[in-house]
Structure 1
Amino acid sequence: MTLRPTVRGVGVAVVAGGAIGMASAAGPRALNAIAAPALVALLAGAVQIILADVPDVDRSAPAAGFAGERRTVTLDVAGSGVARLTDRLPGGVAAVSPAVKATLPATVSYEVELRSRGEWTLGPPEIVMTDVLGLFVRTATPEATTTALVYPDVYDLRGDDAFAGLFTHGTSNDRQAFDSIREYAPGDPLRDVHWKSSAKREADELVVKQFVAEETTEEFHVVASAAPGHADAMASGAASVALLGLQAGLSVAVTCPAGEVQPGRGDAHRRHVLELLARTEAGDVRKQARERADAAVTADGDGVIVTVGDQEHALDVEPERRRTAVADGGDRR
């Protein structure tokens, strides 16, 4: 902790010093009228700030998210007096709101914007305490840190035939369980046309039957590796392919330099995949994992390549294709 006078405190000290000098020439009455109150104020301010409790901070991690999203950071600060709190932030997270000022004890919060993929340490905070007269400040830096997790960018591959076709085997239709009807689309088999409903429409308007999609038990293994400096691209490619597989109903496993997530489905599994890929660095994976993989994602200076069998597909990572696959699988709003 450090204790120092404020600009106001220096001013009061100068006035007190000047009054003492004047008192030596004009008599002790000048000392009583000006110097004494100034000296009392300085003493009272110093004693108050010195005796103030050392702040204790309790905090929790903000929810993980995608680059561009905002999160609220909350800290419970013990202690006494008036204080200004400024959190130390890494490059992957930026403060939206300025430093927070409060009377302790207090619960304070501020907003941050998630900037880039990774696991980032927030804190420790710097707490600047002030006495009630604003003459002295005391700075404390309690050991209170937490982490903010930023997911990799996810790209929409649903309109890319090269990738969407990988997962057509992930679901099957139970042709005994009729679900609904919809408009005919090129490629629909004629056996699925609902002729009775089509007859009630105009001559060139057909509708087809839709059947209940059954989820298969198939597993889909994704492995990812990257040359140094290309971890972000690798993580984005692996996340994009893995989430497309999850949307297709497959049980998806992911292996990358940071570790692996076993096959699974559902919202919690989706988060586990994103969390792993948020933390990974560049590197390679074990040979055994690569041999059992259904899709291998590789990132280097030539871009991101997804290899399935003996076929290679270049991943289009243009910004307009980016989307955030939130926990429920939806797009960013």
Structure 2
Amino acid sequence: MRLTGRGWVGVVVVLVGVANAVAFGPRALNAVVVPVAVALVVGAVQVWRVSPPRAVRDPPEDGFPDETHTVSVTIEADRPFPATVSDALADGLDGDSTVDAVVGDGSLSYDVTYRTRGPATIGPVTIVAHDLFGLFSRTFTAGGRTEVLVFPQIGSLSTTANRDLSSLSDHRTTTHRGEFDRLREYTAGDPLRDIHWKSSAKSGDLVVKSYTNRTNADAVSVSVGSVDGREDDVAEAAATLSCSLLDAGIPVHLTSPVGVTDAGPEERRRVLAHLSRLESGAVPDSDAEVVVRGDAGQTYVTLAGRETTFERLRAKSASKPDSPDDLADTTAQYVDENVLGRPTGRKRGVGR
């Protein structure tokens, strides 16, 4: 327990009054000194009787940068008392978390805005109890810390980029078939290569081989890393690509310097939580089907061995070419490589 600034003023008033009383008689204890002295005694007793409070925080949901969420804190105490309550906010979180109120029988709330990607902590709660006159204060710490995750932003991909991503799964489906399951009657649309000619000749009807479906079991591998301080940009690129795969019903096997995560189509949060914790480090699996790396001031993406930049994969509304010349160069390179089949000798996605 300690005196506040107002409390020190009160003490000075009382001391001056007592000194005057000693020098000039009891009449010097006027109508100001006695009430102040009484207030000091009452205030000291009020604050001294405050028992250590308990704080229970209702944490906000995880979210994305620039989102605002509400934090609720319930203060429990043996008896209500006036106090100033302040909830500590880590870097990356912004909000006015200081509230003046009578606590002990209810909850307080404030808004917090997420600013930057990454894990961030809220708390502990600092409770400064004071008397009704504001002469004494006593500080308590309660509530512990609560972690919230600020996910990377998710951008939009161009139609071509989405098609290239989907083709990774299509390629797996056509080249990695499941195990033989059984023979069944031919139905329209069955591939001719699945017809079992010997059994068809015996039965007189077309019979095809049926295989177990491995589409849902085969995840596309995505590996992420950055050694150039571009962790936020790399996390955004990886989140955009991974969520596009998940939205298309394609599982993802994600590796990065912080670990490994497997996620199915309904588990987008697992990928976002992983990428919210992304730290600097090299790409752990350079042979992955999708590789995202930050280097030399740029974010590069490799799809099935072909490298480009993330900016070139964005939807037009999200990213515009630097100049008409860049657009012409990109178009000419695409035609040469994909239509005419001529190698250009240029590395896709690297600016001039």
Same fold (TM over 0.5): yes
Partner of 1:210: none
Q: CA, structure 1 residues 69+319, in 2 after alignment: closer, same or farther (shift >3 Å)?
A: farther
Partner of 1:180: none
SS of residue in 1 equivalent to 2:144: coil
TM-fit CA distance, 1:50: 1.8
Partner of 2:115: 115
RMSD: 2.9
In the alignment of these two chains, the number of paired residues is: 275
CA contact (8 A) 1:67 1:117 kept: yes
Q: CA, structure 1 residues 319+32, in 2 after alignment: closer, same or farther (shift >3 Å)?
A: farther
Partner of 2:160: 161
Partner of 1:321: 318
Structure 1 or 2: more strand by fraction: 1
Partner of 2:243: 243
TM-fit CA distance, 1:163: 4.3
CA contact (8 A) 2:228 2:294 kept: no
What percentage of aligned pairs have identical amino acids? 34
Give yes or no for the alignment of 1:299 onto 2:297. Answer: no
CA contact (8 A) 1:155 1:240 kept: yes
Q: CA, structure 1 residues 38+245, in 2 after alignment: closer, same or farther (shift >3 Å)?
A: same
SS of residue in 2 equivalent to 1:64: coil
Amino acid at match of 1:245: L
TM-score where L is the length of structure 2:
0.70
CA contact (8 A) 1:54 1:140 kept: yes
Of the structure 1 ranges 14-23 and 123-132, higher mean CA displacement relative to structure 2 is found in: 14-23
Query: CA-to-partner distance for each residue in 1:49-75, whole Å, 9 max, x for gaps?
Result: 122111222224321100000111121
1:165-314 equivalences in 2 (<5 Å): 165-168=164-167, 217=216, 218-266=218-266, 269-286=267-284, 289-291=285-287, 293-314=288-309
Distance across 1 between alignment mates of 2:42 and 2:294? 64
TM-fit CA distance, 1:224: 0.7
CA contact (8 A) 1:223 1:295 kept: yes
Give yes or no for the alignment of 1:75 onto 2:70. Answer: no
Distance across 2 between alignment mates of 1:72 and 1:219? 37
Query: CA-to-partner distance for each residue in 1:94-137, whole Å, 9 max, x for gaps?
Result: 11x35112212131111110000100122222221110121112
TM-fit CA distance, 1:258: 1.4
Give yes or no for the alignment of 1:141 onto 2:136. Answer: no
1:95-114 equivalences in 2 (<5 Å): 95=95, 97=96, 99-105=98-104, 106-114=106-114
CA contact (8 A) 1:228 1:283 kept: no
Structure 1: state its 5+ residue gaps: 177-214, 323-333
Distance across 2 between alignment mates of 1:88 and 1:139? 14
TM-fit CA distance, 1:297: 0.8
Partner of 1:47: 45
Distance across 2 between alignment mates of 1:318 and 1:130? 57
Ranked by relative contact order (alpha carbons within 8 Å, sequence separation 6 or more), the top structure is 1
Partner of 2:3: 5
